[in-house]
Protein backbone atom coordinates (compact mmCIF):
# COMPACT_ATOMS: atom_id res chain seq x y z
CA UNK A 1 0.00 0.00 0.00
CA UNK A 2 1.11 3.54 -0.71
CA UNK A 3 2.05 4.95 2.68
CA UNK A 4 1.15 8.49 1.59
CA UNK A 5 -2.14 9.87 2.86
CA UNK A 6 -2.23 12.92 0.67
CA UNK A 7 -0.03 13.83 -2.22
CA UNK A 8 0.90 17.45 -1.75
CA UNK A 9 2.94 18.83 -4.60
CA UNK A 10 5.72 21.19 -3.59
CA UNK A 11 5.61 24.23 -5.87
CA UNK A 12 8.59 24.77 -8.17
CA UNK A 13 9.01 28.25 -6.93
CA UNK A 14 8.21 29.15 -3.35
CA UNK A 15 9.31 31.72 -0.84
CA UNK A 16 11.94 29.91 1.22
CA UNK A 17 12.49 32.57 3.82
CA UNK A 18 10.36 31.57 6.78
CA UNK A 19 8.94 34.01 9.29
CA UNK A 20 10.79 37.27 9.93
CA UNK A 21 13.36 37.14 12.75
CA UNK A 22 11.64 39.85 14.79
CA UNK A 23 8.58 37.64 15.25
CA UNK A 24 10.60 35.30 17.47
CA UNK A 25 11.20 37.91 20.16
CA UNK A 26 8.36 40.42 19.97
CA UNK A 27 6.22 40.61 23.10
CA UNK A 28 3.41 42.36 21.19
CA UNK A 29 3.37 39.55 18.64
CA UNK A 30 3.18 36.99 21.42
CA UNK A 31 -0.06 38.63 22.59
CA UNK A 32 -1.44 38.29 19.06
CA UNK A 33 -0.42 34.64 19.00
CA UNK A 34 -2.28 34.01 22.26
CA UNK A 35 -5.33 35.83 20.92
CA UNK A 36 -5.54 34.46 17.38
CA UNK A 37 -3.76 31.13 17.61
CA UNK A 38 -3.76 29.67 21.12
CA UNK A 39 -7.02 30.66 22.83
CA UNK A 40 -9.26 29.92 19.88
CA UNK A 41 -7.63 26.77 18.48
CA UNK A 42 -8.11 23.24 19.82
CA UNK A 43 -5.57 22.17 22.44
CA UNK A 44 -4.93 18.65 23.68
CA UNK A 45 -5.49 18.53 27.44
CA UNK A 46 -4.88 14.83 27.92
CA UNK A 47 -6.62 11.50 27.45
CA UNK A 48 -9.79 10.12 29.02
CA UNK A 49 -7.67 7.43 30.68
CA UNK A 50 -5.84 10.12 32.67
CA UNK A 51 -9.12 10.64 34.56
CA UNK A 52 -10.79 7.20 34.60
CA UNK A 53 -13.06 7.61 37.67
CA UNK A 54 -15.74 10.05 38.80
CA UNK A 55 -14.08 12.99 40.51
CA UNK A 56 -10.74 12.50 38.73
CA UNK A 57 -9.41 15.71 37.30
CA UNK A 58 -6.48 17.19 35.45
CA UNK A 59 -5.52 20.81 34.97
CA UNK A 60 -3.56 22.71 32.37
CA UNK A 61 -2.11 26.17 33.02
CA UNK A 62 -1.09 27.71 29.71
CA UNK A 63 -0.96 31.12 27.98
CA UNK A 64 -2.41 32.82 31.06
CA UNK A 65 -5.48 30.54 31.07
CA UNK A 66 -6.29 27.70 33.42
CA UNK A 67 -8.22 24.65 32.29
CA UNK A 68 -9.81 22.08 34.61
CA UNK A 69 -10.99 18.78 33.14
CA UNK A 70 -13.08 16.65 35.46
CA UNK A 71 -15.08 13.45 35.15
CA UNK A 72 -18.59 13.69 36.59
CA UNK A 73 -20.61 11.15 38.54
CA UNK A 74 -22.38 10.43 35.27
CA UNK A 75 -19.03 9.48 33.69
CA UNK A 76 -19.02 12.53 31.42
CA UNK A 77 -15.74 14.39 30.94
CA UNK A 78 -16.22 18.17 31.17
CA UNK A 79 -13.95 21.17 30.85
CA UNK A 80 -14.07 24.40 32.86
CA UNK A 81 -11.99 27.42 33.61
CA UNK A 82 -10.14 26.51 36.79
CA UNK A 83 -11.37 29.72 38.32
CA UNK A 84 -13.66 30.15 41.30
CA UNK A 85 -16.60 32.42 40.60
CA UNK A 86 -16.18 34.10 43.98
CA UNK A 87 -12.77 35.75 43.63
CA UNK A 88 -10.99 33.81 40.95
CA UNK A 89 -8.92 31.35 42.96
CA UNK A 90 -7.94 28.05 41.46
CA UNK A 91 -10.66 25.58 42.37
CA UNK A 92 -8.09 22.79 42.37
CA UNK A 93 -4.39 23.36 42.87
CA UNK A 94 -2.77 20.17 41.62
CA UNK A 95 -2.12 19.14 38.03
CA UNK A 96 -3.94 15.84 38.57
CA UNK A 97 -5.97 14.22 41.31
CA UNK A 98 -9.36 13.12 42.58
CA UNK A 99 -11.87 15.32 44.35
CA UNK A 100 -14.36 12.66 45.52
CA UNK A 101 -17.80 14.25 45.55
CA UNK A 102 -17.24 17.92 44.98
CA UNK A 103 -14.75 20.64 44.10
CA UNK A 104 -14.07 22.79 47.15
CA UNK A 105 -12.34 26.09 46.51
CA UNK A 106 -9.30 26.39 48.79
CA UNK A 107 -9.75 30.15 49.30
CA UNK A 108 -13.12 30.56 51.10
CA UNK A 109 -14.66 27.16 50.54
CA UNK A 110 -17.28 27.58 47.84
CA UNK A 111 -18.39 24.12 46.77
CA UNK A 112 -19.04 23.05 43.18
CA UNK A 113 -20.60 19.82 41.97
CA UNK A 114 -18.59 17.67 39.57
CA UNK A 115 -20.73 18.96 36.70
CA UNK A 116 -19.57 22.49 37.49
CA UNK A 117 -22.78 23.77 39.08
CA UNK A 118 -22.41 25.71 42.32
CA UNK A 119 -23.57 23.64 45.28
CA UNK A 120 -23.15 26.47 47.71
CA UNK A 121 -21.11 29.30 49.11
CA UNK A 122 -19.45 29.08 52.50
CA UNK A 123 -21.49 31.01 55.13
CA UNK A 124 -24.34 31.44 52.67
CA UNK A 125 -26.23 33.94 54.84
CA UNK A 126 -23.53 36.49 54.01
CA UNK A 127 -24.77 36.44 50.39
CA UNK A 128 -28.47 37.26 50.79
CA UNK A 129 -29.06 37.61 47.03
CA UNK A 130 -26.80 34.90 45.60
CA UNK A 131 -28.44 33.09 42.69
CA UNK A 132 -26.54 29.80 42.60
CA UNK A 133 -27.57 29.00 39.05
CA UNK A 134 -25.59 32.01 37.84
CA UNK A 135 -22.35 31.08 39.52
CA UNK A 136 -21.38 27.71 38.11
CA UNK A 137 -17.83 27.17 36.83
CA UNK A 138 -17.40 28.61 33.37
CA UNK A 139 -17.43 25.76 30.84
CA UNK A 140 -14.87 25.29 28.09
CA UNK A 141 -15.47 23.84 24.66
CA UNK A 142 -14.44 20.20 24.91
CA UNK A 143 -14.37 17.36 22.43
CA UNK A 144 -13.05 13.84 22.85
CA UNK A 145 -11.47 12.32 19.76
CA UNK A 146 -10.17 8.72 19.88
CA UNK A 147 -9.77 9.10 23.62
CA UNK A 148 -7.88 12.39 23.44
CA UNK A 149 -9.44 15.37 25.21
CA UNK A 150 -9.34 18.57 23.19
CA UNK A 151 -10.36 21.90 24.68
CA UNK A 152 -10.70 25.42 23.43
CA UNK A 153 -10.41 28.45 25.71
CA UNK A 154 -12.60 30.47 23.43
CA UNK A 155 -15.58 29.24 21.37
CA UNK A 156 -15.67 29.66 17.70
CA UNK A 157 -12.33 30.37 16.13
CA UNK A 158 -11.31 29.38 12.64
CA UNK A 159 -11.21 25.60 13.13
CA UNK A 160 -14.11 23.18 12.64
CA UNK A 161 -14.89 20.47 15.21
CA UNK A 162 -11.99 18.19 16.13
CA UNK A 163 -13.74 15.30 14.36
CA UNK A 164 -13.90 17.35 11.18
CA UNK A 165 -10.37 18.71 11.53
CA UNK A 166 -8.83 15.26 12.00
CA UNK A 167 -10.99 13.42 9.50
CA UNK A 168 -8.10 12.97 7.04
CA UNK A 169 -6.11 10.95 9.57
CA UNK A 170 -9.00 9.20 11.27
CA UNK A 171 -9.06 5.94 9.27
CA UNK A 172 -5.34 5.39 9.85
CA UNK A 173 -5.29 6.51 13.48
CA UNK A 174 -8.28 4.30 14.26
CA UNK A 175 -6.12 1.17 13.84
CA UNK A 176 -4.40 1.96 17.15
CA UNK A 177 -7.51 1.78 19.37
CA UNK A 178 -6.20 4.80 21.22
CA UNK A 179 -9.50 5.32 23.04
CA UNK A 180 -8.89 2.12 24.96
CA UNK A 181 -5.32 2.87 26.03
CA UNK A 182 -3.97 3.60 29.50
CA UNK A 183 -1.22 5.98 30.71
CA UNK A 184 2.41 4.89 30.52
CA UNK A 185 4.15 7.34 32.84
CA UNK A 186 1.65 10.20 33.12
CA UNK A 187 1.67 13.71 31.69
CA UNK A 188 5.10 15.37 31.69
CA UNK A 189 6.12 19.01 31.35
CA UNK A 190 9.45 20.63 30.70
CA UNK A 191 10.67 24.16 30.01
CA UNK A 192 12.96 25.12 27.18
CA UNK A 193 14.65 28.51 26.70
CA UNK A 194 13.44 29.39 23.19
CA UNK A 195 10.46 30.90 21.41
CA UNK A 196 7.72 28.31 20.86
CA UNK A 197 7.97 28.72 17.09
CA UNK A 198 11.59 27.60 17.14
CA UNK A 199 10.50 24.36 18.79
CA UNK A 200 7.80 23.86 16.16
CA UNK A 201 10.08 24.81 13.26
CA UNK A 202 12.53 22.08 14.19
CA UNK A 203 9.75 19.55 14.59
CA UNK A 204 8.09 20.42 11.29
CA UNK A 205 10.82 19.03 9.06
CA UNK A 206 12.79 15.85 8.72
CA UNK A 207 15.66 17.39 6.76
CA UNK A 208 17.73 17.52 9.98
CA UNK A 209 17.18 13.88 10.95
CA UNK A 210 20.15 12.48 9.04
CA UNK A 211 22.58 14.88 10.65
CA UNK A 212 21.12 15.59 14.06
CA UNK A 213 19.39 12.38 15.14
CA UNK A 214 21.77 9.46 14.71
CA UNK A 215 19.41 7.02 16.44
CA UNK A 216 16.39 7.97 14.34
CA UNK A 217 18.47 7.93 11.20
CA UNK A 218 19.66 4.45 12.07
CA UNK A 219 16.12 3.37 12.90
CA UNK A 220 14.15 4.77 9.98
CA UNK A 221 16.12 7.42 8.09
CA UNK A 222 15.91 5.68 4.73
CA UNK A 223 12.10 5.69 4.61
CA UNK A 224 11.20 8.96 6.32
CA UNK A 225 9.07 11.56 4.53
CA UNK A 226 6.94 14.58 5.46
CA UNK A 227 3.52 15.63 4.22
CA UNK A 228 3.11 19.35 4.90
CA UNK A 229 0.24 21.14 6.65
CA UNK A 230 -3.07 21.21 4.77
CA UNK A 231 -6.10 22.55 6.63
CA UNK A 232 -4.26 22.40 9.93
CA UNK A 233 -2.92 18.85 9.76
CA UNK A 234 0.46 17.48 8.67
CA UNK A 235 1.84 13.97 8.68
CA UNK A 236 5.31 12.43 8.78
CA UNK A 237 5.83 8.78 8.15
CA UNK A 238 8.69 6.30 8.45
CA UNK A 239 9.07 2.56 8.80
CA UNK A 240 11.89 1.17 10.85
CA UNK A 241 14.57 -0.99 9.40
CA UNK A 242 14.39 -4.41 11.10
CA UNK A 243 18.16 -4.76 10.61
CA UNK A 244 19.10 -1.40 12.13
CA UNK A 245 21.51 -1.58 14.98
CA UNK A 246 24.35 0.86 15.28
CA UNK A 247 22.79 2.23 18.50
CA UNK A 248 22.09 0.15 21.59
CA UNK A 249 18.50 1.31 22.02
CA UNK A 250 17.74 0.95 18.30
CA UNK A 251 19.32 -2.46 18.01
CA UNK A 252 17.31 -3.77 20.92
CA UNK A 253 14.12 -2.06 19.84
CA UNK A 254 14.05 -3.69 16.41
CA UNK A 255 14.99 -7.01 17.98
CA UNK A 256 12.37 -6.96 20.73
CA UNK A 257 9.39 -5.20 19.09
CA UNK A 258 6.80 -7.93 18.50
CA UNK A 259 4.79 -8.10 15.30
CA UNK A 260 1.71 -5.98 15.97
CA UNK A 261 -1.06 -8.22 14.68
CA UNK A 262 -3.70 -5.51 15.11
CA UNK A 263 -2.10 -3.26 12.48
CA UNK A 264 -2.29 -3.48 8.69
CA UNK A 265 0.99 -4.41 7.00
CA UNK A 266 2.02 -0.91 6.01
CA UNK A 267 1.78 0.23 9.65
CA UNK A 268 3.42 -2.78 11.31
CA UNK A 269 6.82 -1.06 11.50
CA UNK A 270 5.64 2.51 11.13
CA UNK A 271 6.31 5.54 13.30
CA UNK A 272 3.83 8.22 12.25
CA UNK A 273 3.59 11.82 13.44
CA UNK A 274 0.46 13.90 12.88
CA UNK A 275 1.01 17.63 13.31
CA UNK A 276 -2.04 19.56 14.49
CA UNK A 277 -1.90 23.31 13.97
CA UNK A 278 -0.79 25.33 15.84
CA UNK A 279 1.30 23.49 18.41
CA UNK A 280 0.69 19.77 18.85
CA UNK A 281 1.65 16.37 17.54
CA UNK A 282 -0.09 13.04 17.95
CA UNK A 283 2.25 10.21 17.16
CA UNK A 284 1.84 6.49 16.86
CA UNK A 285 4.22 3.58 17.04
CA UNK A 286 3.27 -0.08 17.02
CA UNK A 287 3.37 -0.22 20.82
CA UNK A 288 2.22 3.23 21.93
CA UNK A 289 0.46 6.46 21.10
CA UNK A 290 1.58 9.84 22.38
CA UNK A 291 0.94 13.53 22.21
CA UNK A 292 3.28 16.45 22.70
CA UNK A 293 2.74 20.16 22.40
CA UNK A 294 4.31 23.50 23.23
CA UNK A 295 3.01 26.69 24.80
CA UNK A 296 4.77 30.04 25.03
CA UNK A 297 5.68 31.14 28.57
CA UNK A 298 7.29 34.31 27.22
CA UNK A 299 8.91 35.23 23.91
CA UNK A 300 12.03 33.35 25.00
CA UNK A 301 10.65 30.44 26.99
CA UNK A 302 8.38 27.55 26.11
CA UNK A 303 6.54 24.91 28.07
CA UNK A 304 6.72 21.44 26.52
CA UNK A 305 3.99 19.02 27.60
CA UNK A 306 3.04 15.51 26.56
CA UNK A 307 2.24 11.94 27.50
CA UNK A 308 2.64 8.40 26.20
CA UNK A 309 -0.19 5.85 26.30
CA UNK A 310 0.04 2.08 26.06
CA UNK A 311 -2.14 -0.90 25.39
CA UNK A 312 -4.09 -2.04 28.44
CA UNK A 313 -3.15 -5.68 27.93
CA UNK A 314 0.37 -5.20 26.56
CA UNK A 315 2.79 -8.11 26.51
CA UNK A 316 6.24 -7.98 28.10
CA UNK A 317 7.79 -7.56 24.66
CA UNK A 318 5.47 -4.66 23.89
CA UNK A 319 6.35 -3.05 27.22
CA UNK A 320 10.06 -3.44 26.53
CA UNK A 321 9.68 -2.02 23.02
CA UNK A 322 7.68 0.88 24.42
CA UNK A 323 10.44 1.62 26.90
CA UNK A 324 13.11 1.49 24.20
CA UNK A 325 11.15 3.71 21.82
CA UNK A 326 10.73 6.15 24.71
CA UNK A 327 14.52 6.14 25.16
CA UNK A 328 15.05 6.84 21.47
CA UNK A 329 12.47 9.63 21.63
CA UNK A 330 14.00 11.15 24.73
CA UNK A 331 17.42 11.39 23.08
CA UNK A 332 15.81 12.85 19.98
CA UNK A 333 14.04 15.45 22.05
CA UNK A 334 17.19 16.63 23.78
CA UNK A 335 18.92 16.86 20.41
CA UNK A 336 16.01 18.96 19.13
CA UNK A 337 16.15 21.25 22.16
CA UNK A 338 19.76 22.05 21.37
CA UNK A 339 19.02 22.69 17.69
CA UNK A 340 16.14 24.99 18.51
CA UNK A 341 18.33 26.97 20.93
CA UNK A 342 20.97 27.55 18.28
CA UNK A 343 18.42 28.56 15.67
CA UNK A 344 16.48 30.77 18.06
CA UNK A 345 19.58 32.64 19.28
CA UNK A 346 20.26 33.79 15.75
CA UNK A 347 16.99 35.72 15.63
CA UNK A 348 18.49 38.27 18.00
CA UNK A 349 21.54 38.82 15.83
CA UNK A 350 21.74 41.71 13.41
CA UNK A 351 23.35 39.34 10.95
CA UNK A 352 20.29 37.08 10.73
CA UNK A 353 18.74 37.30 7.28
CA UNK A 354 15.97 34.76 7.50
CA UNK A 355 15.80 31.08 6.64
CA UNK A 356 16.56 29.58 3.27
CA UNK A 357 14.40 26.47 3.30
CA UNK A 358 14.90 23.23 1.39
CA UNK A 359 12.07 21.43 -0.39
CA UNK A 360 12.43 18.97 2.49
CA UNK A 361 11.43 21.77 4.85
CA UNK A 362 8.22 22.67 3.07
CA UNK A 363 6.33 21.64 6.21
CA UNK A 364 7.90 24.62 8.02
CA UNK A 365 6.65 26.89 5.28
CA UNK A 366 3.10 25.54 5.40
CA UNK A 367 2.98 25.95 9.18
CA UNK A 368 4.14 29.54 8.78
CA UNK A 369 1.47 30.06 6.12
CA UNK A 370 -1.17 28.92 8.58
CA UNK A 371 0.21 31.40 11.13
CA UNK A 372 0.29 34.25 8.61
CA UNK A 373 -3.33 33.64 7.78
CA UNK A 374 -4.30 34.29 11.40
CA UNK A 375 -1.70 36.97 12.07
CA UNK A 376 -1.01 38.92 8.88
CA UNK A 377 1.65 41.20 10.47
CA UNK A 378 3.89 38.13 10.16
CA UNK A 379 4.15 39.00 6.49
CA UNK A 380 6.11 42.16 7.33
CA UNK A 381 9.85 41.73 6.98
CA UNK A 382 10.59 44.73 9.17
CA UNK A 383 9.31 44.75 12.72
CA UNK A 384 6.42 47.15 13.32
CA UNK A 385 6.58 49.26 16.46
CA UNK A 386 5.49 47.14 19.41
CA UNK A 387 2.79 49.64 20.34
CA UNK A 388 1.32 49.57 16.81
CA UNK A 389 1.33 45.78 16.43
CA UNK A 390 -2.20 45.04 17.56
CA UNK A 391 -3.95 47.75 15.52
CA UNK A 392 -1.87 47.10 12.45
CA UNK A 393 -2.71 43.42 12.60
CA UNK A 394 -6.41 44.18 13.02
CA UNK A 395 -6.29 46.46 10.01
CA UNK A 396 -4.56 43.79 7.90
CA UNK A 397 -7.03 41.14 9.05
CA UNK A 398 -10.05 43.20 8.11
CA UNK A 399 -8.54 43.76 4.69
CA UNK A 400 -8.53 39.95 4.45
S1 LIG B 1 -12.20 32.51 45.73
FE2 LIG B 1 -13.10 30.57 45.80
S3 LIG B 1 -14.25 30.61 47.63
FE4 LIG B 1 -13.42 32.60 47.50
FE1 LIG C 1 14.20 16.58 15.39
The verdict on 259 and 354 lying in the same domain is yes
Q: What is the pLDDT of residues 237-292, one digit of tens each?
A: 999 999 998 899 999 999 999 999 999 999 999 999 999 999 999 999 999 999 99
300-337 pLDDT, tens per residue? Answer: 999 999 999 999 999 999 999 999 999 999 999 999 99
In a shared domain, residues 138 and 205: no
Task: Choose the residue to mutate in 80, 93, 110 for probing ligand 1, maximizing ligand atoms within 8 Å of C-beta.
Answer: 110
| Residue ending a domain, choose from 142, 177, 193 | 142
Tell me whether residue 309 is in a domain.
yes
Whether residues 250 and 134 share a domain: the answer is no
Per-residue pLDDT, 6: 87
**104 pocket-lining for ligand 1 (C-beta < 6 Å):** no
Q: Does 124 sit in the ligand 1 pocket, CB within 6 Å?
A: no
Which residue range forms the structural domain that includes residue 84?
51-142
Q: Which helix (H) or strand (E) holds 27?
A: helix 27-33
Residue 112 shares a structural domain with residue 167: no
Distance 210 CA to ligand 2 centre (A): 10
**181 to 141, 148, 249, 269: CA distances (angstroms):** 23, 10, 24, 19
Among 98, 114, 142, the domain boundary falls at: 142
Decide if 59 is inside a domain: yes
Q: Which of 107, 142, 177 is the last residue of a domain?
A: 142
Are 36 and 59 found together in one domain? no
Using a pLDDT cut of 90, give the percent of the chain over it.
92
What SS3 state is found at 389?
helix
Is residue 97 included in any domain, yes or no?
yes
Cα 194 to its chain centre, rounded Å, is: 17
How many domains does the chain fold into? 2
Closest ligand 1 atom to residue 110 Cα is 3
121 lines ligand 1 (CB under 6 A): no
Residue 176 domain-assigned (yes or no):
yes
Say which CATH number the domain at 178 has: 3.90.380.10
Point out the ligand 1 atom lying closest to the alpha carbon of residue 108: 3
**Which pLDDT does position 1 carry in this prediction?**
61
Residue 149 in domain:
no
Is pTM, for the whole model, over 0.75?
Answer: yes
Whether the Cβ atoms of residue 295 and residue 189 lie closer than 8 Å to each other: no
Per-residue pLDDT tens over the stretch 183-236: 999 999 999 999 999 999 999 999 999 999 999 999 999 999 999 999 999 999
Ligand 1 centroid to Cα of residue 110, in Å, is: 6
Same domain, 269 and 173: yes
| Residues 6+ positions from 144 with CB-CB distance below 8 Å | 48, 77, 150
Terminus-to-terminus CA distance in the chain, angstroms? Answer: 41
Task: For residue 102, give the CATH number of its domain.
Answer: 2.102.10.10
Residue 155 inside a domain? The answer is no
Same domain assignment for residues 275 and 134: no
Note whether 60 and 35 are same-domain residues. Answer: no
Residues 322 and 282 in one domain: yes
**pLDDT value at residue 353:** 86
Q: Which ligand is nearest to the CA of 212?
A: 2
Q: Ligand 1 within 6 A of 103 CB?
A: no
Residues 203 and 100 in one domain: no
* Domain identity same for 32 and 116: no
Are 224 and 323 part of one and the same domain?
Answer: yes
SS3 89: coil
169 pLDDT above the threshold of 80: yes
In a domain, 45, yes or no: no
Tens of pLDDT, residue by residue over 61-112, are 999 999 999 999 999 999 999 999 999 999 999 999 999 899 999 999 999 9
Amino acid sequence: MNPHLRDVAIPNDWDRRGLPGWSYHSAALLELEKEHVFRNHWQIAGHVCDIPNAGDYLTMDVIGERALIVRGKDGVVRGFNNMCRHRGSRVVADSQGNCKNALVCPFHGWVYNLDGTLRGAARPRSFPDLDKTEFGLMPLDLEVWMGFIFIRFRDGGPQPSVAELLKPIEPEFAHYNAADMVPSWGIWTQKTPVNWKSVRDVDNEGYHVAMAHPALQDLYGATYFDEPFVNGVSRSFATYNPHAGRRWSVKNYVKIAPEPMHLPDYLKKAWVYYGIFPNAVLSVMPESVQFYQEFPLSTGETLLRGAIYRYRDESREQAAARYLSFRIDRDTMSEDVQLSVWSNESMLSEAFEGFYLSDLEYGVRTHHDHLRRQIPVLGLETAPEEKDMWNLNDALRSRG
